[in-house]
């Protein structure tokens, strides 16, 4: 009997029984082969017209190898740690080759920063100490409330939940959406040079629904970067 990791589900037409421990489930994916990084294709196409693009597959995903020890839980900290090691090794070569602080800090600040959440940053006093000084920080926030409303509407349409449960969901969704905005905005405290963009008409996958707004923020970051000689 197959396990999910034994099969390349991303390509070709195949059908298998897969064990989930207590019993087996039948899987049969169809359609075109999956292309890794497809959700960022448009953003990459626009960005590479004016800047270099670095893409990497996290451990265990895409074409990267599995880590020697699989963590019990993948967190913002574990992802940032992996990226930190990658940048300190491979990106150091680029830094020495070009002797450019702009190259080093732009990629380190923008790529590392996006993977750490505000509570972790606050605990390490990275917000209080403005760890990124005056390097540009752009926070592009999606409309989480729209996502939550779509889930609610879909559930109501199928007759799920009681009126009490629906009221509880609405209350929780409102609170979560509000807290999400506050957490996003707090990341501006990493630097004295930042801006917050709220995408009213885009939900979680803004890179697919409105790639230009992502590219605009990358351009803004590069244009406002202060080179220290």
In a domain, 25, yes or no: no
In a domain, 5, yes or no: no
Domain interval for residue 216: 35-223
Does 119 have pLDDT greater than 70?
A: no
Separation of alpha carbons 167 and 173, rounded Å: 10
Read off the pLDDT band of 64 (50, 70, 90).
confident
| Gyration radius (Cα) of the chain, Å | 21
In a domain, 177, yes or no: yes
Contacts 24+ apart (CB under 8 A), 39-43: 39/205, 39/207, 39/208, 40/207, 42/207, 42/208, 42/211, 43/207, 43/211, 43/214, 43/215
Read off the pLDDT band of 6 (50, 70, 90).
low
Output the six-digit token pair for 125: 């006093």
- 12's torsion region: left (phi>0), alpha (psi -120 to 50) or beta? left
In a domain, 154, yes or no: yes
In a domain, 127, yes or no: yes
In a domain, 93, yes or no: yes
Model-level pTM greater than 0.95?
Answer: no
SS3 158: coil
In a domain, 167, yes or no: yes
Number of domains in the chain: 1
Does 219 have pLDDT greater than 90?
A: yes
Which whole number is the average pLDDT over 169-173? 90
Question: Which of 97-111, 114-128, 142-156: highest mean pLDDT?
Answer: 142-156
Regarding predicted confidence, which is higher, 219 or 25? 219
Does 229 have pLDDT greater than 50?
A: no
Mode of pairing for the β-strands spanning 194-199 and 16-19:
unpaired
pLDDT for position 153: 92
pLDDT for position 117: 58
Read off the pLDDT band of 214 (50, 70, 90).
very high
Read off the pLDDT band of 93 (50, 70, 90).
very low
Which whole number is the average pLDDT over 45-70? 84
In a domain, 28, yes or no: no
Report DSSP letters for 107-123, one per residue.
HHHHHHHTTS-HHHHHH
Q: Which residue is it, tokens 């999400």?
A: 180
């Amino acid at each position: 009997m197959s396990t999910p990791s034994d099969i390349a589900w991303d390509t070709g037409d195949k059908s298998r029984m897969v064990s989930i421990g207590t019993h087996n489930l039948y899987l049969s994916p169809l359609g075109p082969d999956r292309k890794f990084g497809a959700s960022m294709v448009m953003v990459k196409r626009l960005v590479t017209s004016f800047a270099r693009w670095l893409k990497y597959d996290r451990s265990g995903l895409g074409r990267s190898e599995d880590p020697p020890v699989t963590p019990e839980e993948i967190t913002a900290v574990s992802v940032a740690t992996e990226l930190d090691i990658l940048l300190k090794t491979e990106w150091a070569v680029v830094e020495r080759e070009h002797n450019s602080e702009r190259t080093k800090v732009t990629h380190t600040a923008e790529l590392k920063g996006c993977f750490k959440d505000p509570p972790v940053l606050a605990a390490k006093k990275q917000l209080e100490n403005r760890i990124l000084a005056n390097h540009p920080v752009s926070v592009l926030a999606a409309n989480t409330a729209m996502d939550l409303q779509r889930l609610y509407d879909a559930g109501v349409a199928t007759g799920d939940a009681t009126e009490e449960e629906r009221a509880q969901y609405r209350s929780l969704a409102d609170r979560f959406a509000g807290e999400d905005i506050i957490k996003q905005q707090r990341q501006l405290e990493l630097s004295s040079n930042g801006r917050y963009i709220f995408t009213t008409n885009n939900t979680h996958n803004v890179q697919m629904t409105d790639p230009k707004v992502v590219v605009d923020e990358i351009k803004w970051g590069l244009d406002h970067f202060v080179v220290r000689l």
